[in-house]
Each structure stands twice: as structure tokens, then as C-alpha cells.
Structure 1
Amino acid sequence: MSNPIKSILDDFPVVILDGALATELEKRGCNLNDSLWSAKILANNPEIIENVHYDYFVSGSDCAITSSYQATIDGFMKNGFPRDKAKDLIRNSVAIAKKARDRFWGNPTNRRNRAKPFIAGSVGPYGAYLADGSEYRGDYKIDENALIKFHKSNVKLLIEAGADILACETIPNLTEARAIVKLLEEFPGVYAWISFSCKNDYEISDGTPIFECAKVLNSCKNIAAIGVNCTSPKYINSLIKEIKKASDKPIIVYPNSGEEYDANTKTWHGASSSNAFSISAKEWFENGASVIGGCCRTTPSDINATYKILKNID
């Protein structure tokens, strides 16, 4: 693999990521009230996933993050899928994103002032598999070796399917980040980003300072970018500054929309707007982030507004 983030940043000042997948799937009629979350749509309606990826490319995204965040072999098997089918579904998350990318890139008008989009294979945290919210606490009781074993099959399947980079996202503790780095040593030449879920201006979800996390990851050759996702926008500027103190790697940020999530009722509250999100994105860029997108509750409109303001397109 080449490093797709570096390839784009060699020619452009910023990489634009996509936004929320689940939010768009729900808007299009999908019921995600399931331990597999958006991954279950891989089995019963992959065309909708492809269309969401395509819409984000049209909106300006340089990247599609695959629908494999909550997709694991064990998770699928617990929901009645045979092992071989589970593997096929995880591989297909990459194939679906590639199909959307190729459909978009096949139109010559879409290539103007754009880099060819790349596919990031989503590697969700162990907490996503548990489906108990622990990806926002980082308190699951599992050691580094067990985490390596847990992630290995998914990483291997995503690489085999042709993902251009791995998106190791919503990581809540440094132990899991270390496990991923160690696992990547088994796959020379494969690049990944690691983005943490954070609970305030300075700390990831389990309370470890993000400065410490960035310092550890900065020397890891396979890590193409370090940053934050699935976190309130109000913390992002401070977190960028903390990462910059410890790392010279590209900084990646894709926070939530700004709405607040109530874990008890599983509902979102508060206001958000594409204009406000894009203005915040401009601040993140000015403060040092060079890979920018959105997570929960963000939309193609948010990404399009961000694309326009960061690439000076009227």
C-alpha cells in the first residue's frame, strides 16, 4: 500500500473525510436498533450503503470509511450468520465502497480539482463489538494480547479486500492503540490512522492525556495520522493543540455534529447546522488539522459545506 493521506496532502492542503453512515441509513428507512448497528445493512440492503458512500463523494469527500465499524466475525455469528458468510460481509464492506468510488470517479466531470478518493477500512474498537457503550469509557477488561487477537481477523479481511488504509477509530484507551500498532507489524506496508474518542479538552475516554497517546504513536511508521473522532466539536481545538505538542504526523478530526447524546434514552438533543460545522472545521484546519470530516449526526450537507469552505469553492 501507498499512504493515501500523504498522497493527497502532497497536492492539496486538506483531506476531506465523509460523515456519518448510520445517520444517513436511518434517514433512508433503515432500522439500526441492533447489536450489529449499521453492519447489519451489509447483509440485507448493501445498495443503500453504496448510495450513501456515493453521496458523500459527490459532496466533496476524498474518502469513504467502510461500513465495518461494528462488523466482526463473532458479532455476525451471534446473530445467526455462518462464519464464511460473516467473512464475506466484512470483505464486501470494502467492495461496496469501491463500487461507489468507481461510479463517482467514472464521470470525468467529477475529477476536476479532485484527487481520486480512497477507501478506509473501518476497524471499530472492542467496545463496539460489546455494544454496551464502552467505546466511550475504555473500561473493558481485556489485555493487549487479547485485543491483538480480537482485531487480527478483521484487519486481515479488510486488507485482503483491498482497503487503501485502515481507519482504527473511536479508540477509547491507549492499550487498544498499542495493540493495533503491534498488530500492524504483521502487515508491512499497510497504513492506518488511529483516532480516539475523547471526554474533554485533554483526555481520551479512559482519562489518558491525548498528548501521551500522540507521543507514543508518533514513532510508529504504519500510522499515517493521529486524531479524534466521535467527540463533541467543543473539545476539538484544544485536542488538536495537545496532539501537535507531541507529534508531527497529520492530525485527523471527525467529531460529532454538536448535538448531545443521551445514553439512557438513546436519543440526540440540541441544535446543529452545516454552516456552523463548516466554520468550526475551518478553525480546526487553521489550528493544524489536515484530515477533516464528520462522525455521528453529520450529513452530506455538512461535508459539502466543509469541502467548499476549506477548498475555497463557491
Structure 2
Amino acid sequence: MPEPADDLAALLAAGPLVLDGGLGTLLEAHGHDLRSELWSARLLVEQPAAVRAAHAEFVAAGAQVLTTASYQVSYAGLGAAGFTDAEVDRMLRRSVTVAREAAGDAAVLVAASVGPYGAARADGSEYSGAYGLSVDELREWHRRRLRVLAEAGADLLAIETIPSPAEVEALCAELAEIGMPAWVSVSGASTGFTPESRTEALAAAAATPGVIAVGVNCCPPGDVLPALADLDVDVALLAYPNSGERWDAVVRQWRGDGGLDDALVESWLDAGVRLVGGCCRTTPADIARVAHLVDARPAGA
């Protein structure tokens, strides 16, 4: 029988799949205060129905892949807020369950989100990777969360917004031992990469067993093609930038104007991107436009 990674690779070879958009910022738009260090993880505990409803909006907009609300869920971050490791395990599993429930009977994949070490710190270091930790230390920090999510019933792992070569190396070393399908997406806006080191890190990720796609997220839309330009890999490409607005970690607010441009989305698809959607501040309306563009393309294009 084909391995799950082979099945997903075949699905991507048939044509692009539409990702969802900014889950946390959609929840904020619904009136939820996510300014605490736990971000949307708090709602998994207090109001999982709100998370489910936000996921469902993206399904209705045409998303074919839902990314779970586990990006910010970590043992260190939640432990500081008084949660036990067992409670964090349950929260990680709940993130997958809630997304699966939101998908309902729709043909939608669930990708379990794995954010970087810096996301748990909530201090902006997820955009630099300047942690002062070794690859082995990062492997240990990520290990339990990866394994719990791998066993929680998701279709694949979404390794996302990774800001440095060291953290990519650490996560890929763990993925190689887990054997579950995954994508690896680096932060296109991180100062922790040079253009050369980003290309090298993504190429190494693409060679990791189980990795079905590599690319960039959480960057201005105009940065997507330059980030992928020199990448020559045998797996699918992915792109899900933010709206173009800039996150100010000091005051915890978004600044500037944003929006996904149809011509840019078309250019990513023309360049071979097979997983396409949005990150922070992209809305169900944005994803509906992306879905329309994907649907309008010839089969297999």
C-alpha cells in the first residue's frame, strides 16, 4: 500500500490545494482578545467552539486544508500559566479534534500546526531565531509536542514560521524519526536567514523522509517569489504569506495596509506552488479569492 506521504504527494501532483488563512487574526476579528502570551491557545481551553467556528468559515470559503490552533501550544509556555504537561497533551489533541469537527463531511485535510520555539516566548524572537539554543536542545524542546500531534489524528504536520537554519535542522531530525507526512515552511520575514541559508535549509528539509512540501509563510506577499526563486527540490512548493501588514511585537499590534493580490497569487501558481493560502491577517474573503483562482486553472496546472 502507498505510504501516507506518497498519497499526499500524488494529490499535490494533481493540482494546487488551497490552505486556510489567519486563524488567530480571524478570532480577533470576532472579538476575542488574544493579547495574552497564550494567543489562540487560550480559546482551545475556554472556548473551543469559537475555534471550530473560525475553522468552518475557512472551509466555507474554499479551504482544502485546515491548520490547527496548536501553533502557540507548548509545554513551557502553558506550564508557566499553570498547565500540567498532561493538560497540554490534551490541548494539542483537542486542536486536531476541533479542526476535524469543523471540516465535517468536506474533503478537507487537517494539518497539525507546529510553531517555532520563539512562538512560545511571545517576544518576537520567532522572527529572528536568536534563542541561544543548540540543535540538540531545540530537538528536545520540540520532541514531545511533535509526537503528541503525530498521534492525534491529523493528516500531516505543518512545521511553520521557522526562523533559522538551526531550528529547521532540529525539526527535520525529529521528523525523520516520526515518519509522518509534513510540510516545512520557514518565515520569509525572519532575520535569521540569508537568502542562501534559507534556500539551503529548505533543500535539506525537502530531502527529509516524509516531507511533502517546503516553502515560506508569514512574509509580505511580494517576498514569496524571491524566496522560492533559487529553490530546486523534488517535493511540492508552498506559499502562505501574511496580508502585508507588519506585526509590532512591542505593542502587540499590526501596522500598515494589506491584502492578497490576485496577480501575485497567479504568479506563485505559475511558479509551481501547490499549497497556497494565507497567514496572519488573511481572511476568509482572501481565501475565497485564492480558491476561485485555483478553480479557474486547467486541471493539473
Residue 217 of structure 1, CA deviation: 2.2
* Aligned pairs for 1:253-272 within 5 A: 253-272=239-258
Aligned to 2:116: 125
Aligned AA for 1:294? Answer: G
Deviation readout 1:112-142 (Å, 9 max, x if unpaired):
xxxx211100001011111111110111111
Residues in 1 aligned to 2:34 and 2:111: alpha-carbon distance in whole angstroms: 22
- Which aligned pairs between 1:109-124 and structure 2 lie closer than 5 A? 116-124=107-115
Structure 2: where are the runs of 5+ without partners? none
Q: CA deviation at 1:42?
A: 0.4
CA distance in 1, matches of 2:128, 2:85: 30
**CA-based RMSD:** 1.6
Aligned counterpart for 1:218 among listed residues 206, 216, 239: 206
Counterpart pick for 1:6 among 6, 9, 14: 9
Residues 27-66 of structure 1, C-alpha deviations (whole Å, 9 max, x = no match): 1121101111111110000001111111111111111100
Aligned AA (1:287): A
SS of the residue 1:294 aligns to:
coil
C-alpha separation between the residues in 2 aligned to 1:81 and 1:219? 36
1:11-26 aligned at under 5 Å gives the runs 11=14, 13-26=15-28
* Identity value in percent: 34
Please tell me whether the aligned partners of residues 257 and 277 of structure 1 are also in contact (alpha carbons under 8 angstroms): no
Q: How many residues of Structure 1 are paired with residues of Structure 2 in the alignment? A: 292
Q: 1:27 aligns with which of 29, 38, 56?
A: 29
Q: 1:257 touches 1:298 (CA, 8 Å); kept in 2?
A: yes
In 2, the alpha carbon distance for the partners of 1:10 and 1:216 equals: 21
**Partner amino acid for 1:271?**
D
> Cα–Cα, structure 1 residues 253 and 5, in superposed 2: closer, same or farther, change >3 Å?
farther
What's the secondary structure of 1:242's corresponding residue?
coil
- The offset of 1:265, in angstroms, is 3.0
For residues 214 and 26 of structure 1, what CA distance do their matches in structure 2 show?
A: 32
Q: Do the aligned residues in 1 keep the contact of 2:70 with 2:95 (CA within 8 Å)?
A: yes
Question: 1: CA distance between counterparts of 2:262 and 2:4?
Answer: 29
Contact 1:23–1:297 (Cα < 8 Å) also in 2: yes
After superposition, the C-alpha distances for 1:237-265 in whole angstroms (9 at most, x for unaligned) are: 1112122xx31311111000112333333
Contact map agreement 2:169 2:201 (CA 8 A) in 1: no
Match of 1:194 among 181, 184, 188: 184
> How do 1:202-213 and structure 2 match up within 5 A?
204-208=190-194, 209=196, 210-213=198-201
Q: Which amino acid aligns with 2:265?
A: A
| Match for residue 228 of structure 2 among 231, 240, 262 | 240
Check whether the contact 1:236–1:253 (CA below 8 A) recurs between aligned residues.
yes
- Give yes or no for contact 1:277–1:306 (8 Å, CA) kept in 2: no
- 1:137 equivalent to 2:144? Answer no
Q: Is the 8 A contact 1:278 1:302 kept in 2?
A: no
Match of 2:215 in 1: 227
Structure 1 residues 14-35: Cα deviation after superposition (integer angstroms, max 9, x where no partner): 0110000111111112110111
User: 2:75·2:88 contact (CA, 8 Å) conserved in 1?
Assistant: yes
One-letter amino acid of the structure 1 residue matched with residue 236 of structure 2: P
Listed one character per residue, the Cα deviations across residues 246-297 of structure 1 (whole Å, up to 9, x for unaligned) are 3131111100011233333332233234xx4333211111122111010010
**TM-score, normalising length: structure 2:** 0.92
Instruction: Give the alignment partner of residue 75 of structure 1, picking from 65, 74, 77.
Output: 77
Take 1:205 and 1:211, find their aligned partners in 2: how far apart are those partners? 14
Structure 1 residue 166 displacement after superposition: 0.5
The one-letter code matched in structure 2 to 1:43 is: V
Q: Where does residue 294 of structure 2 map in the other structure? A: 310
Identify the residue that residue 98 of structure 2 maps to in structure 1: 96
Question: Which runs of 5 or more structure 1 residues have no equivalent in the other structure?
Answer: 106-115
Cα distance in 1, alignment partners of residues 163 and 145 from structure 2: 18
- 2:267 & 2:76 partners in 1: Cα distance? 41
> Does the aligned pair in 1 maintain the 2:118–2:129 contact within 8 Å?
yes
Query: Does the residue aligned with 1:253 lie in a helix, a strand or coil?
Result: strand
Instruction: Note the C-alpha offset of 1:186.
Output: 2.2
- Per the alignment, residue 63 of structure 2 pairs with 61
Equivalent AA in structure 2 for residue 300 of structure 1: P
What is the alpha-carbon distance in structure 1 between the residues aligned to residue 248 and residue 269 of structure 2?
29
8 Å CA contact retained: 2:128, 2:192: yes
